[in-house]
Every structure is written in C-alpha cells, then in structure tokens.
Amino acid sequence: MRTLDQTTDEILNLAAAHFKVPRAGLEASDDFFKKLGIDSLQALELLTRLENHFGVELPDYEVAGVSDFRTLATRIQARL
Amino acid sequence: MDEFKGKSLSWSVADGIVELALDRAPANEIGLAMLDDLERFAAALPELESKASALILYSKQSAGFSAGADLRELFALVQETDAGSAAKGVREFLERIHAVLNRLDMSTLTTIAAVHGVCFGGGFELALTCDLIVADKMARFCFPELRLGLIPGFGGIPRLKRDVGNGVVRDLLLTGRSINATKALAIGLASQVAAEGEALRVARATAAQVTKFDRATAAAAKRFIKPLPAEELRHEIDIFCNLFAQPTVMQGLRKFVEATGAHPYLP
C-alpha cells in the first residue's frame, strides 16, 4: 500500500515527464493548472494517465474543484 | 466518389475499407459545417457500400475523436434569433443529424470507430453509431449534457442502451462523469483497447479481418443483431426540444462559452 507521500511523488513524476517540466520545480502544494500550463482538456488527459498509472477509476466530479497535487493525491489514495 | 476532402472531414476507399477522417480544429465540434460534410458522406454511402466491406471512423485532431456539439455556434445562433426561430433551428439541426447518424448506424458496411482522446456528447453519439469501438488507452467517453440542462440529442441514449446495461446508461447520463478506455471495455462499450496512438492501426487490422467475409452475410448478421431504436430516437428529439426551451439551458451555454478559466470541459 502506497503512502500519501509516495502517491504524491508518483503524480509529480508523471506530470513532470508528460508535460515536460522540470521535476525539481514541482511541489505538492502547486496549482497544477498554473504550474503545468494546462487547460481542461489536458487536465482530463492527466486524469486518464493517473487512472491508468494507479489502476483506479477516478470520477472527474471528484477532482473538478481540485487544483493542487496533494489534494489530487488524497483523492487517488482513497481509491487505492 | 472514392475520395473527398471537405471543410471538416475527408474520406477515401482502398482495399475494401472506407476511412472517414474527422478533421476540424480544435476538437471536431459538430456544428453546421461538420453536419454538411457528414450529409455528403451519407449521400455517398450507397456507392461506397458497393465497393467496400468496412468503414473506419477516426479523428485527425490530437485533442480526440470529438468534443461533441459545437456549443459556441449553438449559443451564437440562439443569441442572434428569437426564441421561436432558435427552437425551430435546433429541431431542424437534430432532424438532419439524426438522419445522418441513422444512415451510418444502418450501413451495410461493418463500421469501426477508432477513438482517442475526448469522445464527448455528440462525438460519443457519433461513435455509438459504429458496430465496434476501438479505444486508445487515452480515450475518454462522456455525456456532459445534463450540465447544460439537456439530454444527449444525437441519439446517444437509445444507442448506448442498445449496447450496454441500463444501469451503465444511468451512471453516465445522470452523473455526467467521463470514463476511460479500461472502463469502456469493462462495460462492453469498447470492443478493444489499443495502446496510446495505436487505435487506428488496430481498427485497420480489424477492418482487414472483416473484408474476408461474404458481404451479404455480414450485412444480414448486422441487421439481425443491431436494430435501429427508431421510436426512442424520435422520442429523444422531442424531449431535447422541450428541455431546450428552459432558461437553464441558456445559462449553461453562456457559462461554457464565456468561461475564461481552464475548466469548461470539467464538471
């Protein structure tokens, strides 16, 4: 079972790799819309990548109001 | 004609396979231009059906298969006209798109949608006319219409109900949530999941398999197993038009069209 820190770290790694931003520049508290410079379609793409990576189903209404990596990690953690 | 290139799509036929490529930026929104081209394709179908065994429907836009109805165009139409004319225009559009999608649905060809990225609303409804859906692992399916105070209007509910359980239909319709390819496969919506960027290749391999069979036999099998839910499709148009008259729809359209943030495609 992953810890919340491990889940957060995996999200940050995945986001950095896919959206081609330096991993060192990403923090758990960052607003991923701003930090990654993504729109809602790209946010859906991120959601799909996270679902595929963690093997979970994450309804988009659960993350609709979420914009920081840490809260996103808690939503995923609740489904693991 | 064996080849066509319009404003929103193109098609070609080779080796018994028709390929219809949606290609209208940013995400193949289905408005009047796309409808015009789809009608051209429907008109060409009898000739194509005499030359081919399979049809692949896919998108050349990186954002996905289709984000659905062109809500910006719809909002502009409603803004420019009085309520009566807008309602008439919406019903006419629905009658036309239903005619096209019903024709695609009933084609004698074995039809395959190769879906990547967003497959939302009207785009999802277009994919549902196909006999098989091959989903890229990054595909996402959704009926977001209730967010606008509407139901899907291009035949989506009757067609989805034909393919999967009523509970699944209620989940997608009443929550407005999107699902990924893995889920789509699990509920029987998609027949295959392809690796990222591989849906078209998988669809082509499937289409090549289809060409091996006797065409009349395949068409007879399709007619037997895939009836058109004609009565429900007609009923859907009436429900949609009744809902469209409600003020919540304009509020929802305005919210979507005027959104300046990053969230218009999120619930």
The CA distance from B97 to B43, in Å, is 13
| Chain-chain contact of A39 with B117 (C-beta, under 8 angstroms) | no
| Chain-chain contact of A61 with B177 (C-beta, under 8 angstroms) | yes
| Chain-chain contact of B118 with A52 (C-beta, under 8 angstroms) | no
Rounded alpha-carbon distances, angstroms, from residue B58 to A37, A58, B114: 28, 26, 5
Contact B156, B229 (CB under 8 A): no
Contact B236, B157 (CB under 8 A): yes
Question: DSSP label at A28?
Answer: T
The CA distance from A32 to A28, in Å, is 9
ipTM of the complex: 0.90
Q: Is the pLDDT of residue B210 over 80?
A: yes
Residue A72 distance to chain B (closest CA, Å): 15
pLDDT tens profile B231-243: 999 999 999 999 9
Residue A62 distance to chain B (closest CA, Å): 9
| Chain-chain contact of A41 with B265 (C-beta, under 8 angstroms) | yes
Q: Worst-scoring range by mean pLDDT, A13-22, A36-45, B46-55, B141-150?
A: A36-45
A80 SS3 class: coil
Query: Given pLDDT bands bounded at 50, 70 and 90, which one contains residue B2?
Result: confident
The CA distance from B234 to B163, in Å, is 18
Question: For A4-77, which CATH class?
Answer: mainly alpha
The DSSP element (H or E) to which B247 belongs, if any, is helix B247-257
Q: Which residues in chain B are contacts of A40 at CB distance < 8 A?
A: 262-266
pLDDT tens profile A13-39: 999 999 999 999 999 999 988 999 888
- Could you tell me the domains of chain B? 3-198+212-257 (3.90.226.10)
Among A39, A57, A63, beta carbon nearest to B262: A39
pTM: predicted TM-score of the whole model, two decimal places = 0.94
| Residue with the two structure tokens 């979970």 | A56
The CA distance from B128 to B141, in Å, is 11
- Domain locations in chain A as residue ranges: 4-77
**What is the residue type of B205?**
A
Contact B169, B187 (CB under 8 A): no
Q: Which residues in chain B are contacts of A44 at CB distance < 8 A?
A: 118, 140, 178, 265-266
| Chain-chain contact of B63 with A41 (C-beta, under 8 angstroms) | yes
pLDDT for position A63:
87
What is the set of active-site residues of B? 125, 145
Among A38, A39, A48, beta carbon nearest to B180: A48
Q: Is the pLDDT of residue B266 over 60?
A: no
The DSSP element (H or E) to which B207 belongs, if any, is helix B199-210
